[in-house]
Amino acid sequence: MSFSVIVPARLASSRLPNKPLADIEGQPMIVRVAQRAALSKATQVVVATDSPLIIDACRAHGVRALLTRADHVSGSDRLAEACEQLGLDGQDLVVNVQGDEPLIAPAMIDACAELLKARPQCVMSTVAHALDDAAEFANPNVVKVVLDAQGLALYFSRAPIPWWRDGSSATQANLAAAGALRHVGMYAYHAGFLRRFPTLTTSPLEQIESLEQLRVLWHGERIAVYVSPDKPGPGVDTPEDLARVRAIFAASQSRQVT
């Protein structure tokens, strides 16, 4: 099985300015993400960005990067343009790895791509893992997903889902009992669907939740979900997240030296 990884990267960030260029042990975060993705089975890893500064940072570290339009409303729209620039065939598999996941597991990227190949009735696949922390369950920055009996997504939300009608206490025990899942922002698509995605009208739910995958469900398409037995490394949304990731990289490099 062959597939491409495309990493969308936008310079603007309300919570962490210039996030893709944030230094992590001597290299920009976007470069760290691309390096992790290159450890997967992907045949190529490409950054798609709206910023010449990100292009320069990637090329300085040997990472391939494409300059895309600045007016894309979502990462998937940006990927669609990147597919055109790369000349990908409609059936070619593409995995979208978020540019703020410098600790993403290469095996998780492979599993996401393999799931879509195994589920021809779906236009996309994505990843989730068991959620066992009540604070994360309540956190709107942590996206949750609920599945049907076939492992397909029913809904994604920033709100705590599923919710207990007979009790609002989200304890670790009942999180596990309800099968609460945290969504990991990684997607696999066929290039043909990526090209079609920007033509789909934006859904009200997508605008309310600020979650682009809801556009897909709104239009009646299906998304397969790989439930990983492992949690991914922490992503970077805030300065506190960045400090935590920097500490992990520093500790890792220290172990390599010793």
Q: What is the pLDDT of residue 125?
A: 98
| pTM metric for this prediction | 0.91
Q: What is the pLDDT of residue 114?
A: 97
Q: What is the pLDDT of residue 76?
A: 82
Tokens of 256: 């390599």
Q: What is the pLDDT of residue 254?
A: 66
HSE on the CB side for 25, CA within 13 Å? Answer: 13
Residues of the chain where predicted confidence (pLDDT) is lower than 70: 14, 166-173, 254-258
Q: What is the pLDDT of residue 163?
A: 85
- How far CA 214 is from CA of 202, 204, 208, in Å, comes to 9, 9, 10
Assess contact for 51 and 13: CB atoms under 8 A: no
Whether the CA torsion 75, 81, 84, 85 is positive or negative: it is negative
Q: What is the pLDDT of residue 165?
A: 72
Q: Which helix (H) or strand (E) holds 47?
A: strand 44-49
